């Protein structure tokens, strides 16, 4: 029996404002963050009967405490979904939410699901990366992975070594640009529509409401970045200013088969074209998006010249710049992270993939002449993840993408 694969569409995505570690969400549960995102998706899409949701996939890197216990199922129950809606948890470190999206999208294309919720949460203030893990000693004793690969900052310094043209000055300039673009996007009201206000509590200060991204530093300059320490290497290049921080936050996306979107009166924003993952040497983790993007483009029958919009996760500035240099794209190309990125907003590990999708959808909405875009990110222990999307509202124009 042969099956006809179905097109998968991204209908909607939301996220909490991101917080600094031990900041606005210090006394807020991790699961409550993603529960609020799921409820908001239902509120924003009232034509979707909750019983039509076929799966909930929620990612977390550190699946322990209030980030454990099969999050997709428990969060679904707590969000008020019918108990007939199943769910599961997933982990691919930084690409957790992105993997939740592609995994369930494969099920939609195959016909196993019609509608899914996929997302991620990371409360790094409560659960630091690596909490409770017990790495097999063979990883180090048999030199399967360079010990430096276990510290992400070290891998970023290694990437500077591999690509000497990516200087600290370039990384700092990119970081300043990210902060400036994020501030401008806030000023233009581009970011706020995807944010879910979160009630916060503090034993000392009482109740509050988180409505904006806490990590942003719009006053960042080259001078302030130049004064920062390089904690991973003496006289190094990676600082707290040209890397994403340690953050808390959650995201959730609504995906479905394209014919089902029409049936339910849902308005999709993007169509999934292809996705790919790739492995590389763990000590050069940040270069992962290079092979994953090459694979995803090849699967789609596209070249980098066909891509009109990029949302690249800014775990480290050097990681973004390595991908841009590989394809000969300028550091300040207007197609790349035009609304800022993780250096400004923050990077709560497993949740970040959907933030990238939200901002790519905003690029498509702002310019209907943009047809294809990618969301891509590096992943701990040497991986890359890339998804190619198509603007469902493309106006038929062909853009000239100058490098």
Positions marked active-site:
94, 347, 378
What is the dihedral angle through the alpha carbons of 147, 152, 154, 156, rounded to the nearest 10 degrees? 130
Distance between CA 124 and CA 141 in Å, rounded? 29
CB 243 within 8 A of CB 156: yes
CA distance 180 to 332: 12
Quote the tokens at residue 201.
Answer: 């509590």
Give the strand pairing for 206-210 and 198-202: antiparallel
DSSP string, 122-134: EETTTS-TTTT--
The full DSSP string for 324-342 is: HHHTT--TT-TTBSTT--H
Q: How many angstroms separate the Cα of 73 from the Cα of each of 31, 45, 104? A: 11, 21, 14
DSSP result, 181-233: HHHHHHHTTSSGGGB--EEEEETTTEEEEE-S-TT--TT--HHHHHTS--TTS
* Residue 376 near residue 289, CB atoms below 8 Å: yes
């Amino acid at each position: 029996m042969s099956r006809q694969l179905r097109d998968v569409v991204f209908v909607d995505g939301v996220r909490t404002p991101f917080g600094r570690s031990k900041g606005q969400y210090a006394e807020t549960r991790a699961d409550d963050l993603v529960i609020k995102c799921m409820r908001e998706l239902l509120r924003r899409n009232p034509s979707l009967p909750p019983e039509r949701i076929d799966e909930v996939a929620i990612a977390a890197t550190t699946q322990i405490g209030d980030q454990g216990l099969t999050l997709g199922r428990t969060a679904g129950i707590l969000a008020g979904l019918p108990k007939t809606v199943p769910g599961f948890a997933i982990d691919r470190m930084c690409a957790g939410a992105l993997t939740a999206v592609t995994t369930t999208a494969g099920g939609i294309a195959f016909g196993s699901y019609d509608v899914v919720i996929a997302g991620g949460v990371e409360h790094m203030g409560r659960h630091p990366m690596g909490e409770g893990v017990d790495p097999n000693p063979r990883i180090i004793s048999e030199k399967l992975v360079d010990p430096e690969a276990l510290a992400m900052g070290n891998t970023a310094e290694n990437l500077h070594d591999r690509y000497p043209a990516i200087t600290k000055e370039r990384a700092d300039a990119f970081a300043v640009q990210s902060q400036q673009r994020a501030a401008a996007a806030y000023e233009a009201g581009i970011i706020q529509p995807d944010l879910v206000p979160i009630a916060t509590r503090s034993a000392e200060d009482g109740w509050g409401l988180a409505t904006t991204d806490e990590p942003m530093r719009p006053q960042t300059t080259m001078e302030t970045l130049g004064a920062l320490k390089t904690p991973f290497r003496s006289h190094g290049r990676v600082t707290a200013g040209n890397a994403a921080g340690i953050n808390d936050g959650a995201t959730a996306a609504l995906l479905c088969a394209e014919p089902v979107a029409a049936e339910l009166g849902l308005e999709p924003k993007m169509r999934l074209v292809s996705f790919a993952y790739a492995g590389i040497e763990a000590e050069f983790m940040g270069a992962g998006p290079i092979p994953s993007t090459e694979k995803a483009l090849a699967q789609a029958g596209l070249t980098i010249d066909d891509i009109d919009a990029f949302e690249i996760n800014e775990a480290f500035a050097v990681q973004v710049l390595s991908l841009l240099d590989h394809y000969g794209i300028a550091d300040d190309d207007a197609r790349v992270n035009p609304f800022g990125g993780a250096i400004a907003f923050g990077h709560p590990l497993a949740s970040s993939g959907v933030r990238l999708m939200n901002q790519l959808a905003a690029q498509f909405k702002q310019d209907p002449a943009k047809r294809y875009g990618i969301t891509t990110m590096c992943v701990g222990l040497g991986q890359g993840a890339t998804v190619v999307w198509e603007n469902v509202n493309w106006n038929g124009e062909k853009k000239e993408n100058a490098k």
